[in-house]
Structure 1
Amino acid sequence: MRTPPNERLTSDIVEAPLPATSGSERRCILSGDNAPREALVRLAIAPDGLVLPDPAGKAPGRGAWIGVSRAALETALAEGHLKRALMRAFKGAPLTIPDDLAARVEAALARHLADRLGLELRSGNIVLGSARIEEQARAGRLAALLHASDSSEDGRRKLDQAWRVGREAEGSGERGLVLPLDRNALSVALGRDNVVHLGVAGHSGDMRAAARVLQAVFRLSRFVFGDPADATADLVNNHGRDVPGHGDRPQAGRSTHDEYVKD
């Protein structure tokens, strides 16, 4: 499901803050960096010792956290770094690490995003259909504008222009977000035919639904695209100006603690 980022943040666009986090941090067992738990992926042990992704962070028992890209995880798995880190994290418990763990993590994050979109649709927070999206965007009623990874440039350009009008940001170069999911994945997630574009409603300045969606997108984007800076650029594209975030949050650094496992 690897899809290259379709858009890059250009020099005339200011990077926006990320969606709000809980403030609770965890430590990546591979990089040693601390980050908000919403930005990381939890690994948990099944009763039979199998190590599996836990994107919701709710599986019982102890967990270990990773915040690296798929490529970095595959390298760590092949070179034995992941096994050693997990052995330390789980205090020598018997473990079985599947060879396709990286693919399982990506699939789990994609399902988590799809589930979030489905929940927001049922809550009335998702706007579908190009004509309705354009209308709502021009009226300034969208907190986020999202495009499938295989959407056309022409289709995106038209809605992006409406998005800028509604945000009173004409000439800024702001764009909707190109998701790491194609139209088929979006259609399945939302139970609709041929979902290519979607908007997240933000009535009366309420950006909570957009923040929830963007959090899920950020984790998948960072894992798939690799470079956190690039993922952030492709993810946010200035949506975060109106989304509570942590633009002034200091960069994650090495932890001074020896604890690897936090639940």
Structure 2
Amino acid sequence: MLSREEAPREGLIRLALSPDGEVLPDVRAKAPGRGAWIAVNRAELEAAQAKGKLKGALSRSFKTGDVRVPEDLGARIEVQLQRNTLDRLGLEFKAGHVAIGGDRIENAARSGQLHLLLHASDASEDGARKLAQAWRVGTDREGTDLKGLTLPVPRTILSLALGRENVVHAGLTDARAAKRVSDALDRWLHFIGPDPGLEPCETHSQGASAHGNDVRPTEHDEEHTEGL
């Protein structure tokens, strides 16, 4: 059944149409022309694609029957979302908004300067627990479940993103920088879907819940697609 709905652009993923009719991810919303904004995770996207619903909805959105949806569209979107998040984290590090190294992060946490705590997927539980405890102490939230977020990438990828060796933990020490990273993270984590190995922090659990489980591409301004 097809439906249409409006939704805020934040958290959505934009798709664009190449000159030869191929549907491509445009997660930074920079490509020219008409776009389609979707609010689905990868599993939902691929299920709709397998049923043939996605192509029809996108054809209506782009107002052309010459639409080719690549079989690996979900994988392409995931790669772009990961790159966008890690690039944003790298930019914030260069701007001096990211602390790395256990001691520096712990000092920032205990002094109330930590706004977002991130861990590589292969970080030790003890190390993550110690930093989370320092964060709770520094924000007078002892006894709560405030903790960091375990990223779905290992330290090798996190280190590459920051241009440093053996980065296991990272802490955002600027509130606005933390919000920018959080926004990118929310879209990435929502798209790849729930992972029992991830431990979202308070900020992300609230942000991700806003997306719900809506499998329908959404309407926004002049760029939209009919829902699935």
Q: 2: CA distance between counterparts of 1:38 and 1:136?
A: 29
Q: TM-score, normalised by structure 1?
A: 0.74
Partner of 1:219: 187
Contact 1:115–1:189 under 8 Å retained in 2:
yes
Q: What does 1:102-121 align with in structure 2 at a 5 Å threshold?
A: 102-121=74-93
Contact 1:42–1:63 under 8 Å retained in 2:
yes
SS at 2:10's partner residue?
helix
Q: 1:4-26, CA deviations, whole angstroms, 9 ceiling, x for partnerless residues?
A: xxxxxxxxxxxxxxxxxxxxxxx
Answer yes or no: is 1:86 the counterpart of 2:58.
yes
Q: What does 1:149-164 align with in structure 2 at a 5 Å threshold?
A: 149-164=121-136
Answer yes or no: is 1:238 the counterpart of 2:202.
yes
Q: What does 1:239-258 align with in structure 2 at a 5 Å threshold?
A: 239=203
Contact 1:44–1:59 under 8 Å retained in 2:
yes
Gaps of 5+ in 2: none
Partner of 1:128: 100
Runs of 4+ that moved beyond 4 A:
30-33, 249-260
Answer yes or no: is 1:145 the counterpart of 2:117.
yes
Q: 1:225 corresponds to which letter in structure 2?
A: G
Q: 1:131-189, CA deviations, whole angstroms, 9 ceiling, x for partnerless residues?
A: 11111111111111111122221111011111111111111121111223322221111
**Cα offset for 1:38?**
2.1
2:143 to 158, 166, 171: 171
Q: What does 1:65-84 align with in structure 2 at a 5 Å threshold?
A: 65-84=37-56
Over 3 Å counting, the alpha-carbon distance change for 1:59 and 1:120 in structure 2 is same
Q: 1:61 corresponds to which letter in structure 2?
A: G
Answer yes or no: is 1:261 the counterpart of 2:223.
yes
Q: What does 1:50-65 align with in structure 2 at a 5 Å threshold?
A: 50-65=22-37
Contact 1:35–1:252 under 8 Å retained in 2:
no
1:181 to 153, 156, 159: 153
Q: 1: CA distance between counterparts of 2:33 and 2:52?
A: 24
The alignment's C-alpha RMSD in Å is 3.1
Q: 1: CA distance between counterparts of 2:131 and 2:3?
A: 39
Q: What does 1:196-207 align with in structure 2 at a 5 Å threshold?
A: 196-202=168-174, 207=175
Gaps of 5+ in 1: 1-29
